[in-house]
Amino acid sequence: MPFVNWLKRHFVVIAGLLTLAYLLLPNVVVTVFSFNKPKGRFNYQWQQFSTDAWKDPCGVAGLCGSLSLSLQIAVWATIGATALGTMIAFALVRYRFRARGAVNSLIFLPMAMPEVVMAASLLTLFLNLGAQLGFWTILIAHIMFCLSFVVTAVKARVMSMDPRLEQAAQDLYAGPAQTFLRVTLPIAAPGIAAGALLAFALSFDDFIITNFNAGSTVTFPMFVWGSAQRGTPVQINVIGTAMFLIAVLFVLTSMVIGNRRNKQKASS
Amino acid sequence: MKTTNSGSGDVRLTGISKTYGSFAAVQPLDLTVPQGSFFALLGASGCGKTTTLRMIAGLEEPSSGTVHLGDQDVTALPPYKRPVNTVFQSYALFPHLDIFENVAFGLRRRGIKSVKKQVEDMLELVQLGEQARKKPHQLSGGQQQRVAVARALINTPKVLLLDEPLGALDLKLRRQMQLELKRIQTEVGITFVHVTHDQEEAMTMADTVAVMNAGRVEQLGSPTDLYENPNTTFVANFLGTSNLIEAEVDTKSGDDIVLKAGGGKLVLPESRCSAPTTAGGKVLVGVRPEKISLTHADAAGEIPEGRNRITGRIANSSFIGVSTQYVIDTSVCPEFEVYAQNIDRDARLAPGAEVVLHWSPAHTFGLDAAQDIDAGIQEEAAL
C-alpha cells in the first residue's frame, strides 16, 4: 500500500513530468539525430556519433539560402502584422463605428478558415492580378494570416485597460503623444509582444500557404519538405536544434533579467 | 482656509451643460466654488455630478457654457493644459510605474528634472515614504487612495477634483480617510471639489454642498443650512430623513403661518417656507425625526403650549443604542418617523400605545406642494 499512497501524493508531479516528456521528446530525437552519421540519404536510423553536420550547417545546397529567406519573411511579416494589428485592435476597442461588430467577426475568419482553402484562394487572387509569385506574395500572405492573431492578442490587452489611465495621464499634463508613449504603449506592450512572437512563429514555419504562393521561391519549411522526398540531410536537424536552443536561451535570459529587476526593486 | 485674493482663484461655471444625444446629463447651471473651500457635489448616480466635475477637469467638453478658473477662461483648453488635477474613482494609478514614478508623473511631464525631494516630501505627507518602490497592485486600497491624492496634489493645482475617491473603501477606512482628506485640505489650502453620493461624507467634509438631481443643482449651502432648511422635497429626503405632510394654509399671524392638517393646526414660521403661501393653498410641512418629542397620550397635559402637535399610535419601534426609532401611525401620515434619544425611556412608549408627537414650530419647514413628496427617498434607501 505505501506505493499507492506515494502515487497519490505525487500524482500531479508525475502527470506534469509525463506531459513535459510528451512535449519535449520529439525535440530530443531531433537533437540526438543531429549528431548522427547516416548511411545513405535518410537520417532515420542511428548509426554513429559525429559532429560533421554541426561543423558545416550550410553544407547542403540551398538550405541556408532558404533559412535566411524564411527569417527575412518572418521578420517583415511580424513587423507588418504587429503594426497593422495593433492599430486595428485599438480601433476596435476604442471607437464605436458602424459595422464594428461585423469587422470584429471578420477579423476572426482567417483563423477559422482551413489553411488550404485560404492558400488556394490567395493563389487565384494573385494569378488574376498578374502578380509575380515570390517574396512579395509570400510576405503579403503571411501578414494577412498573422493579422488575426495579433489583433486577438492586442485586443485582449487593450480591452482590459482602464480608459481612465489615459485620462489620468492627460490630467497630469501629458499631451496626446506623451500619453501614448508613457502610458498606453507600455501598458499594451505585453499584448503587442505576445502578438509579435506569435506572428513570427506562425510565419516562420508556415508551409501550406507559402507553398501555394511561393512560385519558384523556396522557404525553409518548403526546403525541408522537398528534401524529405529525396533524403533528409543531417543539417536539417542541426538547424532545428539550433533554433530550439536559441528560443530556450531567449526565454531563460528574459527570466533572469526579470528576476534580477525584481530583486533590485525589492532591495532598494 | 485661505481667504486672501478672494475671487481670483474661484472656479466659475457659467451656463454649463452637457447633452448626449437627446439625454441632458447636466442642465445649464451656474456654480461658483470659492477659492480655498472644500466643495461637495452630492447626488445619486446619474445626477450629472461626475459629468460636471469632468467638465472642470477638461475630460468632458461642455455642450454650452464656460468654465473659468479665476480670471482665466479654460473652456477650450485640453486637460493637460489646465491647472487642475483629479483623483479618479478607483484611482487610475499607472500599473507599470512604481509609486515614486506615479507621484512624479505630473512633475516630469512639465519638464521638472529634480523631482526626488518633492516626491519624497509628498509621500511623507501621505505617510507612504516606505512604499516608494512598490507597484500600485502591491498596496492596499487605502494606500492606493493616498497615492492618488499625492499624485494629484504634488502639482499644487489651483483646484483638486475628487471623483468618489472613497467609494472603494470599507466603512471604517472611509471615515478615517474623510478626516485625512479634510486635514490635507486645511493644510495645503487648495480648493477641493468633491463628488460623492454619500450624504454623510459630503456633510462631514465639505464647507459647501451642492445637491444635484437630474442634471440640476437643487440647492446649495452649508451642510447645516441644507439639513435644517431644505428647499425641495428631494433635498429634504436625500439628506437625512424628513417627515412631510400635506397641509392647507389657514391664516397668517405675524411672522407665522397657521396650517390645517388632518383636523389639527400646525404653525410654520414664514421665513422657513420656500413655497408661496396664499390662504387655502397647499404646502408640504416638514419636520426632521429627531426634532420631535413623544409623549404618552395620558400625559398630554404636560406638553407646553405653543408646540405643534399630532396624535397617533406607535406602529413600530426599534432600539439602536443611542436612540430609539419609532414609526407612528398618525392621521396625517401613516409612517411618521421619530428618533428619540435614550435619556429617560418611558416604558409606556411601546408599539400600540397612543401618543402625542410635538415639536417646536421653529423646527418646521415648508415646501412647495407641487413637488413629488417622495423625491429622493429611493436613493436614500439604496445606500
The confidence score (pLDDT) of residue A235 equals 87
In this structure, which amino acid lies at residue A48? Q
- Closest residue of chain B to A165, computed from CA coordinates: B92
Model confidence pLDDT, tens digit, residues B301-350: 888 888 998 999 999 999 988 899 999 999 888 889 999 998 887 888 88
- Closest residue of chain A to B132, computed from CA coordinates: A268
Q: What is the ipTM of this complex?
A: 0.79
A125-129, B26-30, B95-99, B183-187: which has the minimum mean pLDDT? B183-187
Task: Tell me whether residue B303 is exposed, middle or buried, using C-beta atoms within 10 angstroms of its C-beta: 0 to 12, 13 to 18, 19 or more.
Answer: middle
Residue ranges of A 178-217 with Cβ closer than 8 A to chain B: 178-179, 182-183, 186-187
Nearest-10 Cα torsion for B23, B25, B28, B32: 180
Choose, out of B74, B81, B87, B88, the residue to mutate when testing the contact with A (most A CBs < 10 Å): B88
Model confidence pLDDT, tens digit, residues A207-235: 999 999 998 899 999 998 988 888 888 88
Residue A265 banded pLDDT, cuts 50, 70, 90: low
The confidence score (pLDDT) of residue A37 equals 85
Strand-pair category, B84-87 with B159-163: parallel
Closest CA to B78 of B94, B55, B99: B55
Clarify whether residues B297 and B218 are in a common domain: no
Q: Is B79 on the interface with A (CB under 8 A)?
A: yes
- Closest residue of chain B to A181, computed from CA coordinates: B109
The confidence score (pLDDT) of residue B300 equals 86
Number of domains into which chain B is organized: 2
Q: How far is A96 from chain B (nearest CA, A)?
A: 14
Say how far apart CA B245 and CA B287 lie, in whole Å: 9
A39-48, A153-162, B88-97: which has the minimum mean pLDDT? A39-48
Q: How far is B132 from chain A (nearest CA, A)?
A: 10
**Nearest beta carbon to residue B79 from set A171, A182, A187:** A171
Q: Residue B4 domain-assigned?
A: no
Clarify whether residues B184 and B270 are in a common domain: no
Q: How far is B53 from chain A (nearest CA, A)?
A: 13
Residue B180: which domain range?
11-233
Query: Global pTM?
Result: 0.78
Say how far apart CA B28 and CA B59 lie, in whole Å: 18
- Which of B178, B213, B233 is the last residue before a domain boundary? B233
Cα B371 to Cα B43, B230, B368, distances in angstroms: 18, 13, 6
Q: How far is A80 from chain B (nearest CA, A)?
A: 26
CATH code, domain carrying B246: 2.40.50.100
Q: Is the dihedral of CA B289, B291, B296, B301 positive or negative?
A: negative
Residue A120: pLDDT above 90?
A: yes
Clarify whether residues B295 and B343 are in a common domain: yes
The confidence score (pLDDT) of residue A264 equals 64
The confidence score (pLDDT) of residue B279 equals 77
Clarify whether residues B323 and B196 are in a common domain: no
Residue B5: pLDDT above 50?
A: no
- Closest residue of chain A to B81, computed from CA coordinates: A173
Q: How far is B52 from chain A (nearest CA, A)?
A: 15
The confidence score (pLDDT) of residue A193 equals 92
Cα B101 to Cα A170, A176, B119, distances in angstroms: 16, 19, 9
Contacts of B155 (CB under 8 A, 6+ apart): A172, A173, B85, B106, B107, B110
C-alpha cell at B325: 426609532
**Nearest beta carbon to residue B88 from set A168, A174, A182:** A168
Clarify whether residues B162 and B54 are in a common domain: yes
Q: Residue B2 domain-assigned?
A: no
| Contact criterion met (CB < 8 Å) for A170 and B98 | no
Clarify whether residues B294 and B367 are in a common domain: yes
Q: Residue B285 domain-assigned?
A: yes
Model confidence pLDDT, tens digit, residues A85-110: 999 999 998 888 888 889 888 888 88
Clarify whether residues B217 and B308 are in a common domain: no
Return the residue matching grid coordinates 437630474.
B214
Q: Which domains does chain A have, with CATH numbers?
A: 1-60+236-268 (no CATH), 62-232 (1.10.3720.10)
Clarify whether residues B298 and B248 are in a common domain: yes
Q: Residue B3 domain-assigned?
A: no
Clarify whether residues B194 and B293 are in a common domain: no
Clarify whether residues B26 and B167 are in a common domain: yes
Clarify whether residues B89 and B216 are in a common domain: yes
Choose, out of A166, A171, A178, the residue to mutate when testing the contact with B (most B CBs < 10 Å): A171
The confidence score (pLDDT) of residue A145 equals 92
Model confidence pLDDT, tens digit, residues B156-212: 899 999 999 888 788 888 888 888 888 888 888 899 999 999 888 999 899 999 999
CATH code, domain carrying B149: 3.40.50.300
Mean pLDDT of all residues in A31-38: 88
What angle do helix axes A135-159 and A100-112 make, rounded to 10 degrees?
A: 120
Size of interface A-B (CB pairs under 8 A): 67
Clarify whether residues B121 and B222 are in a common domain: yes
Strands (E), A37-139: none
The confidence score (pLDDT) of residue B222 equals 95
Say how far apart CA B249 and CA B260 lie, in whole Å: 6
Cβ atoms B325, B335 nearer than 8 A: no
Q: Is B98 on the interface with A (CB under 8 A)?
A: yes
The confidence score (pLDDT) of residue B273 equals 86
